[in-house]
Structure formats: structure tokens, C-alpha cells
Amino acid sequence: MQKKIAIAAFATWGMFVAPAMAAGVLLEAEANSATGGGSFTMATDRAATSGGKALIGWDADGQWIEWAFEAPEAGDYQITLRYASGRGWDIWRELKLDGQVPGEAFAKLTLKTTGGWGRAASEWQNLTLAGANSQPLTLKLTAGKHVLRLTSLGGDGANGSANLDALVLSSKGTDPQTLFKP
């Protein structure tokens, strides 16, 4: 005797909407497109770095790091640096976008000591660049290719030494911390 079993198949059709991705660009220090004005060392022994590497020895006045990157969409992007500096004084950097300083506030950016050189996770700081009014500085980017350069301008003391892990360009409303790699 054969038993017949009825099988009902149901299909549910619907639409899945993926959550919006964070709009921004992660620029790893060691994945730069060019450097100049002095030599850097790529370190793999620093704690809690994005991607497991960092550039150390950013000491000399005029020493620069440059990244070629592509902005995913046009808009205003804030800049967050992940750096370490054991100096007991302020250090300065200049930021250029596509060969030009994009505004007076970018001509001399002040970075404070982080309490060490990045050997411990607590010595790294994520700093969103801000103006005199404490509001985040933004770069107005068109969609497409750009070049960003950071140049050491020294510091209050003997030099402007810092170690750099990465920087993030993030669109308004995007938490820059979400773009750093663990």
C-alpha cells in the first residue's frame, strides 16, 4: 500500500533593503601613495592599530605623507586622525587637498600629546579635526579622485614627532570610529 503525502510549497516574495553603509574613506598610514622630506618606518609591533600597522618616525619639519583616494560621493567630509605622540608639547601639521590648503584652519593643525608612542592601546588617540569654534573641520569633496597630504610643521619643543596609524574622511552623520579597522 502506498501512502500519498501532500506537500504544500509556499513562496514569500519581498524586498530586502540593505542598511546604508557608512560613507567615508579609510586611509591607512602605511598604504600611502608617496612620502617625502625624511624616512618613515612601518611598525607592526604597536598596540591596537587599524590594520595592524602604523608609520613611525614622523619627526622632521617638512616631512610629508600623501594618499591618493577616491571619494565615494560628493559632500562635506570631516577628518579624523589616529595618532600617537609622546612629546610633552603641541605638534603641528598642514593639510593639503589636491595641492592646495583648503582653508586657513588647515594651514596649521594642532595635535596634543597622547601620552606615548602607541606601544599601549591607550596611547593612540582618534582626533576629529576641529576649528576654533570646536566644530569639526570639513573638506568639500567632489565624487572621484583626490590627493591628500599631511606635512609636519614641527612643534613647540625640539620637533613635531608623531606616529600615524590611519585617518578617516567621513560624511556628515557617519561615526568615523566605525570606519577604522579593528
Q: Are 40 and 53 in contact (CB under 8 A)?
A: no
Least confident of 12-16, 63-67, 77-81, 130-134: 12-16
14 is a domain residue: no
Domain count, the chain: 1
164 is a domain residue: yes
8 is a domain residue: no
- Domain span at residue 68 reads 24-175
User: Residue 22 — pLDDT band, cuts 50, 70, 90?
Assistant: low
Q: pLDDT tens digit string along 142-174?
A: 999 999 999 999 988 778 899 999 999 999 888
Q: Considering the chain, what percentage of its residues have pLDDT values greater than 90?
A: 71
Q: pLDDT tens digit string along 78-122?
A: 999 999 999 889 999 999 999 999 999 999 999 999 999 999 999
Mean of pLDDT values over 66-76:
96
Q: Would you state the pLDDT for residue 11?
A: 39
* C-alpha neighbours within 13 Å on the C-beta side of residue 34: 9
Mean of pLDDT values over 1-28:
51
CA-CA distance, 166 to 179, in Å (whole number)? 10
CA-CA distance, 180 to 161, in Å (whole number)? 23
Mean pLDDT estimate for the chain: 87
181 is a domain residue: no
Residue 123, φ and ψ in degrees, nearest 5: -85, -10
Position 14 pLDDT exceeds 70 = no
157 is a domain residue: yes
